[in-house]
Amino acid sequence: MSNNADHQETLHIHSYASYAALGDSFTEGLNDPGPDGQFAGWADRLAGLLAAQRPDGAFQYANLAVRGRLLDQIVAEQVPQIRRIQPDLVTLCAGGNDILRPGSDPDATAERFEAAVAELREHAGTVLICTGFDTRDVPVLRHLRGKIATYNAHLRAIADRNGCAVADLWSLRSVHDRRAWSDDRLHLSPEGHQRVALLAARSLGLPTEQDPESPWPAAPVLSPADQRRENLQWARTYLLPWVGRRLRGESSGDHIEAKRPDLLPL
């Protein structure tokens, strides 16, 4: 009986006919160039893995994520679209931009996140959420590690209460390698996006030929002087402009629209 139930569950997990991704720059896929000139990213890569599980080729995908979006903006702009398109699967990765802001409250952010999840559960077959990354090795952001851990604890509890799948990015050790991140150190590299896609697929029960935790090839070790030089260059090129936008109340997503607002075949 148990084996038959497991088999039926596996068939259900592998038969998503539609998928919608909600979120910010992480889900939009920043710094993972796609063949069409837009960013691809882990959600696009996950959509490809899901489509491959459909022998009939009947698979549709929407990506409503927009860079820079705060949780309340995602709830106001993206979540209502799920009522309209009613996908089999929806992923919600949100709240990270809120947590990065000074004075933010991870407890209050989690309450608003759970309200969004409850609404999504009414209009989507399966909801998958992502925890935040462990920022222990990231300059500046390492100081927010405690807030991120608190938010993550809430997210796991929310998933338990609402029957959601979880892609636990905090536990993904392979992204602690510098090569998993692009030059700005805030967004994943193409290989980093691929590893998150594999983790998300496995969180949904999909088998993957590649392992998200597969070892990286050996890399040259930078001297302390080279590391300091690299950190200074990063601060001038990426950190200061990022801080400047925050101080001016600007967002990298101003005037940007979702790249796939409707369910379409891949």
The pLDDT assigned to 239 comes to: 74
pLDDT at position 240 over 90 = no
Specify the 3-state DSSP secondary structure of 122: helix
The pLDDT assigned to 10 comes to: 40
The pLDDT assigned to 100 comes to: 87
The pLDDT assigned to 221 comes to: 80
Region for residue 102 given its phi and psi (left: phi exceeds 0; alpha: psi -120 to 50; beta: otherwise): beta
Taking residues 33-59, what's their average pLDDT?
A: 91
Burial of 197 (0-12, 13-18, 19+ CB in 10 A): buried
Q: What is the pTM of this model?
A: 0.89
Q: If you ran DSSP here, which 8-state letter would residue 236 be given? A: I
List of domains in the chain? 2-220+257-265 (3.40.50.1110)
Tens-digit pLDDT profile for residues 122-148: 999 999 999 999 999 887 788 999 999
